[in-house]
Amino acid sequence: MKIATWNVNSLRARMPRVLEWLEATEVDVVLLQETKMANDAFDPAPFTELGYEAAHHGDGQWNGVAILSRCGIEGVESGFGDPQVEAGCRILHATCGGVRVSSVYVPNGRALDDPHYAVKLRWLEHLRTWLDDASAANAPHVIGGDFNIAPSDADVWDPAALVGMTHVSAAERAALAALCGLGYEDVVEHLHPQAGQFSWWDYRGGSFRQNHGMRIDLLLASAPLMGRLIAASVDREARKGEKPSDHAPVVARFSD
DNA sequence: ATGGTTGCGAAGCAA
């Protein structure tokens, strides 16, 4: 079973690339972020034609998350249970082929002195509380998405250039570590602890060409799934070519 | 050298 996460930076703009990628990649479940559309604008037909069922959670032109599955999609839920807590359509859950999956788009934070940074930390705390209450880590569960956090200095091209910026602060990394502390492990870090497995490169300034990237798109797997982990990688090829997303997909394979 | 690019939506903001 292959599970992927991909921030597509507008599903409308990226549809040709996403469909091409689905046809070329034997992936069973895909967690999408930044679809940038409302539910009534989401058309599952192109995915259905490729054998995928789909669930989407979006309310406007910002954020928006989705799940595609060709091994069933049941128990679809959005948010953290309390509609007042999760504004912005940033998390969606479903059970696909016996695995609970959560597609997450963590708020960017913008800058350490920006109010959105506190929003980011608060959102991560809501996620941690929700996961703790759900005790979802006892069963096969993958939390995948754009965390907007580079877990360590090995996950950025130049730690010195990012001192004092968001995505690398101690508080954000502690929040991510707290999530993992509930019983999850970063699958790419587990299999490829060496540096340089970046998943995002800024559109500007030739960042991709210079490999000025960060690893901020993560697949976190619960212990029952870690025992089934076979492979995990970033699909850098998807960042190349015509009209790419600024994020590359992250793909993990688990034994059935 | 606070630049540079993309997406949304139709100017400027968000990333």
A246: which nucleotide lies closest, measuring CA to C1'? Answer: B6
B8: residue with closest CA to C1': A61
The CA–C1' separation of A256 and B8, in angstroms, is: 41
pLDDT for residue A126:
96
pLDDT for residue A164:
96
Residue whose C-alpha is closest to residue A193's, from A215, A165, A177: A215
Which contacts qualify for A233-236: CB closer than 8 Å, 24 or more apart? Answer: A233/A188, A233/A192, A233/A197, A234/A188, A234/A197, A234/A198, A234/A199, A235/A4, A235/A21, A235/A25
pLDDT for residue A83:
78
> With a cut of 50, which residues of chain A have pLDDT below it?
none
| Positions in chain B where some atom is under 7 Å from a protein CB | 4-9, 14-15
pLDDT for residue A44:
98
Measured distance CA(A211)–CA(A93) in Å, rounded: 32
Q: Which domains does chain A have, with CATH numbers?
A: 2-254 (3.60.10.10)
Tell me which of A52, A117, A146, A217 is the catalytic residue: A146
Which contacts qualify for A11-14: CB closer than 8 Å, 24 or more apart? Answer: A11/A35, A11/A36, A11/A37, A11/A42, A11/A64, A11/A66, A12/A36, A12/A37, A12/A41, A13/A243, A14/A243, A14/A245
Q: Are strands A217-222 and A29-33 parallel, antiparallel or unpaired?
A: unpaired
pLDDT for residue A81:
87
- Condensed to tens digits (0 to 9), the pLDDT of residues A75-97 reads 999 999 887 788 799 999 999 99
Active site (annotated) includes residue A82: no
Active site (annotated) includes residue A146: yes
The answer to whether some atom of strand B lies closer than 7 Å to the beta carbon of A10 is yes
pLDDT for residue A197:
96
pLDDT for residue A195:
84
Measured distance CA(A116)–CA(A207) in Å, rounded: 25
Under 8 Å between Cβ of A52 and A26: no
The answer to whether some atom of strand B lies closer than 7 Å to the beta carbon of A90 is no
Q: What phi, psi does A28 have (nearest 5°)?
A: -90, -35
pLDDT for residue A194:
87
pLDDT for residue A184:
98
Q: Strand B within 7 Å of which CB atoms in A 47-66? A: 60-62
A12: which nucleotide lies closest, measuring CA to C1'? Answer: B7
The CA–C1' separation of A175 and B12, in angstroms, is: 33
The CA–C1' separation of A62 and B13, in angstroms, is: 11
pLDDT for residue A147:
98
The answer to whether some atom of strand B lies closer than 7 Å to the beta carbon of A36 is yes
Q: What phi, psi does A216 have (nearest 5°)?
A: -125, -5
Which contacts qualify for A51-56: CB closer than 8 Å, 24 or more apart? Answer: A52/A22, A55/A92, A55/A94, A56/A92
Helix, strand, coil percentages (3-state) for chain A, rounded to 5, are: 30, 30, 40
The CA–C1' separation of A62 and B11, in angstroms, is: 17
The answer to whether some atom of strand B lies closer than 7 Å to the beta carbon of A243 is yes
Helix (H/G/I), strand (E/B), else coil: A247: strand
Instruction: Concatenate the DSSP letters of all residues of A19-44 into one string.
Output: HHHHHHS--SEEEEE---SBGGG---
